[in-house]
Amino acid sequence: MVLLKNNSNLLPLNIENTKTLAIIGRLADLKNTGDHGSSNVDQPNIVTPLQGFKNQIGDKTKILFNNGKDLESAQSVAQRADTVVIVVGYTYKDEGEYFELFFKNGGDRINLV
């Protein structure tokens, strides 16, 4: 987790004061380990952010999850929570060295334009 400023002293999270925690984002419940090319490694024991929170918190706090695809639904879930964690980032499908060149120029690797 990266936090640029913690002016309100929100971190570390105080679960004792949180009755409902909303976790929002498609990557929250996705085993997202990076590239699927030559650097791909099959990890047998991956813990997603959502599962990590569930493991750590247990039954102390109600956890609401929303994948964030529908903004209104995600907003509704966030409004019902005391604390909201938003998980964002890229998957291998969102990035890669081939992506832009392949779709714009048909994969021109000779001129690297």
Please give the pLDDT value at position 91. Answer: 82
Residue owning tokens 């998980």? 87
More confident residue, 69 or 110: 69
What tokens were used for 106? 């048909």
The predicted pLDDT at position 61 comes to: 95
| Residue 109, φ and ψ in degrees, nearest 5 | -100, -5
pTM higher than 0.85: no
Selected residue with higher pLDDT from 4 and 78: 78
- Predicted confidence at residue 105, as pLDDT, reads 55
Higher pLDDT, 94 or 83: 83
- The CB density around residue 20, as the number of other CB atoms within 10 Å, is 14
CB 105 within 8 A of CB 113: yes
Distances (CA, A) of 107 to 84, 88, 98, 104, 113: 41, 28, 7, 8, 9
pLDDT of residue 96: 63
Does residue 113 register a pLDDT over 50?
no
Is 49 or 89 the better-scoring residue by pLDDT? Answer: 49
37 Cβ neighbours under 8 A, 6+ residues apart: 92, 96
Mean pLDDT of 55-81: 95
DSSP label of 22:
E
Average pLDDT over residues 68-92: 93
- Quickly count: other Cβ atoms within 10 Å of residue 58's Cβ: 10
**Cα separation of 75 and 79, whole Å?**
6
Per domain, the residue ranges of the chain are 15-105
For the chain, what percent of residues have pLDDT higher than 90?
Answer: 44
For 15-105, CATH gives: 3.40.50.1700
